[in-house]
Structure 1
Amino acid sequence: MIHLACLRGNIGFWTYYSTIMKIKDVVSDNRIITVSESNELYTQNINRILQREISPIRINKISNYILTTEERFFSSLVVAIHQGTPKWTDIDLYEQFEIEGNAIAEDELISLGSKYGILSLSGNEQIFALDGQHRLKGIRKAYGQNPEIGDLEISLTFVIHNHENVERTRRLFTVLNKYAEKPRGAELIILDEDDAAAINTRRLATEHPILSRQNAISNSKTGAISNSDVQSFTTLVTLNSINKVLYNKPSSYYTQRPPAEEINILYQKSVTFWNTFFEIYPEVTSFIDGNNEVEISGERISRNDRTGGSLLLRPVGQELVAKAYMKFAQNEMDDFANRLRQVNFNLSSFNWKYIFWNEKMLGKEQKLKTILLLFILGKNNDSNYIHREMRRVYGLNNQAYNEDLIQRIN
């Protein structure tokens, strides 16, 4: 028997009970199981499919988070009680409470009293998680590796499942899993406190003398800038992607927060890159400050639907420059700056047409895009590959390719 202090509430058709449980009480003897481990909501065939939807990678990440992060925290698991004899016992409030010197009226005390109670579980119930399948399995794995975490407390919300109305519980399972939108893109970058790239992305957007300016960062939630936004320079998602290019770490590195000193070292890498970028192209700083008449090498830079404008003002172009930057050693930065300054980044130019631009931005040919810029900058010598691939791309657009037009910078 286990007794849980609870708050009781009601929404729609559901009475629910909010409580806390120790991890050891959640996982011992599989007191709480996943939907796919129960035969109550779905058949074995459906359960096998649900089981395949549970990702071992996510389970491992959650387990590692619990075991290695002191600041660990979870949102509530939503679980359904089935079978057994769960019992609710009200806690009467006889005490005359005062809040800020004002007594709580008797009718309010009666109402409050109906919300407090004890939920008693005998152990013969079947309890399955409607929301939090990965968290539950991650908790199990972490407890299996280190039982000392068993006294940690997690939050749960219980609902009572009626065997005669399986459809209602299925619908709740669907709503919790289908319509619960997980943070992603810019929102995830804003919220993530473990990913060093995300942490430094926020810092760039708030502290860097240029990237913190009003028009520097678009309000886009993705890596793309809306066609209607002709003023913004880049996006949070792009800054984050460039950070990961500069840091050159495996994806697993971003699942656990590094020490502050390490984060600062990485941040300086970001600052050095962007300082170099804006030193090479002071015109871009002028663009960010609202000057729409900026020119580079006699051509006005912009982002437009007619010619595409400048690749420098496109997030994909900024990431392309970061990848090229990483191929130059620190003692080659002057050479990098001189060469990059000579590159024609006009999207309608011979360099980029049909690769990045054909009346709209093109997303394919990632390898060719990267190698082409390195070839132009003199950091790649595979002319056979470049000309073969360019001939292919131009041919797909029924255009003749003239290899003499791509000029390497020496």
Structure 2
Amino acid sequence: MATLGCIKAKMGRTTYYICKMAAGELIDRVGIAKELPEWPDMTAEEKMQRECDIKRIVEEIVPYVIEDPDRFFSSLIVDIYSGFEDISFEPLSKVVGDIPNAYAVPMADMGFITLPGKERLIALDGQHRLLSLKIAIRGIMGVPGGTKTFAAMNKLQPHPELANEELCIILVEHTDTAKIRKIFNKINKYAKQTSRSDNIITSDDDTFAVIARRLFKEGGPLAPINGIDLVNWKSNTLSQRSKNLTTLSALYTIAETILKDKRFSSKILPDTVALDEAYQTIASFWSTTLDGVQAYQQYLELTRNNKPVSSLREENLLLKPVTQMALAHVALMAQRKEISWESIVGKLNQIDWSFNNDLWFNILVIGSANKKMITGKESIRSAGMVIAYMVMGNQMTRNEVDDVRQIIRNARNDDTANLPSMIP
């Protein structure tokens, strides 16, 4: 039996109870729908939950629960699947007796709910959070039986001290499955995911997000010029008339690419020294690129004079974030081959970056008159490989050159297509 302080509330035809429960008690009392004995025999119409993504729980949510002292979860909605008739609510007024009239109305819905222990409680919304707590507290023993093992599971250790964490739960009676399914559907349907830019702006434990934001602060290589933002930090695209050079999303991807071999995390911030070194690596990439590439010098000059950059963006692929992200792959390869980025940047000016250059068709640009860029991680990597061949082909391995050759032939749909010329 458990008695919880709660607030009774109602929305529409649904009465619910807002309570506080310790994490240890929560994982003991509340289960997930898949654990119901009747779950395997339920039809699609009868099931009220989706399958859990155990890999995401173990690799992303559990480390957050264990390692972040500022961890916080929103309320879990718990379905009283059965046994609601044995649950009782007693208002505070019944417990304390006479109360002043000023408090009588609000206290009518404040009180205690008693769970006798025979009820079945199912996480209607929050099963991933519930399982992450269970695994964080119990370690490998908290992983549901029958789960296929993967590498990250071998590192799981129990953290019983987390059992004292306190969470807010909302108890809802399971009057019928159709209603419960509707509640689950609407909660998730109307919960808008934060945008990639919003995530980068607000994340303080993501190494690449912190670096990306620092790049366009005062003193950074991409700081505003005369009040004009060089970085669009509100969306992931640039319009033809935009005065921005790049996007926050591109800054993030570029940092992530160049630092790929440094084993930095998007979930845990390194110490100050390591973070500063990582930032300097990315800031140096941008400073060197902006100083050495003629197209970027033209952009900066136009921006200093508050003149439109649309014609430059229309003529030059370097003004597109996709191309900038491809350059990050070139910088990574140069880094691996111990080639200075300064020596590479000088060669970039000798490449024809126009939209009409057939080389970029089906590599950077869709081969049509609308001049649309090709996006996607693999496409950006492929573009980076082609650029890398042009500026350091003599120092690429045979496999790397073969990779570039195949990229060119796939883009041309021609098994005899030749490699582009290298820049001397």
| TM-score scaled by length of structure 1 | 0.82
Task: Encode CA deviations 1:96-140: one digit per residue, 9 max, x unaligned.
Answer: 6xxxxxxxxx4x522211232112111111111111111111111
2:386 counterpart of 1:375: no
CA contact (8 A) 1:23 1:139 kept: yes
CA contact (8 A) 2:32 2:123 kept: yes
Instruction: Give the one of 34, 55, 62 matched to 2:53.
Output: 55
Change (3 A) 1:250 1:81: farther
Task: Encode CA deviations 1:228-287: one digit per residue, 9 max, x unaligned.
Answer: x43221111111111101211588822223333332222222211111121113223234
Task: Encode CA deviations 1:278-316: one digit per residue, 9 max, x unaligned.
Answer: 11132232344465577xxxxx96233xxxx32211111
Match of 2:122 in 1: 128
Instruction: Give the one of 197, 204, 213 matched to 1:193.
Output: 204
| RMSD (CA atoms) | 3.2
Match of 1:73 in 2: 72
Match of 2:289 in 1: 277
1:45 CA drift (Å): 5.2
Match of 2:92 in 1: 91
Change (3 A) 1:79 1:388: closer
CA distance in 2, matches of 1:12, 1:303: 53
Change (3 A) 1:50 1:248: farther
Deviation larger for 134-143 or 2-11? 2-11
Aligned letter for 2:21?
Answer: M
CA contact (8 A) 1:8 1:116 kept: yes
Match of 2:181 in 1: 170
Query: What SS class does the counterpart of residue 61 from structure 2 fall into?
Result: helix
Deviation larger for 386-395 or 346-355? 386-395
1:41 CA drift (Å): 8.6
CA distance in 1, matches of 2:203, 2:333: 29
CA distance in 1, matches of 2:88, 2:104: 20
Query: What SS class does the counterpart of residue 378 from structure 1 fall into?
Result: helix
1:367 CA drift (Å): 4.7
Query: What SS class does the counterpart of residue 266 from structure 2 fall into?
Result: helix
Change (3 A) 1:148 1:390: closer
Change (3 A) 1:87 1:316: same
* Structure 2, gaps ≥5 residues long: 139-157
2:219 counterpart of 1:218: no
CA distance in 1, matches of 2:48, 2:91: 37
CA contact (8 A) 1:3 1:120 kept: yes
- The within-5 A match list for 1:224-243 is 224-227=237-240, 229-243=241-255
CA distance in 1, matches of 2:115, 2:323: 59
- The within-5 A match list for 1:11-410 is 11-28=11-28, 31-38=29-36, 43-44=41-42, 46=44, 53-60=51-58, 61-84=60-83, 85-92=86-93, 106=101, 108-144=102-138, 145-162=158-175, 165-213=176-224, 214-218=228-232, 221-222=235-236, 224-227=237-240, 229-248=241-260, 253-281=265-293, 282-289=297-304, 291-292=306-307, 302-304=312-314, 309-329=315-335, 332-357=340-365, 358=367, 359=369, 360-363=372-375, 365-379=379-393, 381=396, 386=404, 389-395=407-413, 406-410=420-424
CA contact (8 A) 2:20 2:168 kept: yes
Match of 1:103 in 2: none
CA distance in 1, matches of 2:405, 2:116: 74
| TM-score scaled by length of structure 2 | 0.79
CA contact (8 A) 2:329 2:385 kept: no
CA contact (8 A) 2:24 2:164 kept: yes
* Structure 1, gaps ≥5 residues long: 97-105, 295-299
Aligned letter for 1:37?
Answer: E
Change (3 A) 1:392 1:149: closer
1:25 CA drift (Å): 0.7
Aligned letter for 2:348?
Answer: L
Query: What SS class does the counterpart of residue 275 from structure 2 fall into?
Result: helix
CA distance in 1, matches of 2:262, 2:170: 37
1:209 CA drift (Å): 3.9
CA distance in 1, matches of 2:418, 2:136: 60
CA distance in 1, matches of 2:344, 2:116: 71
Of all paired residues, the percent bearing the same amino acid is: 24
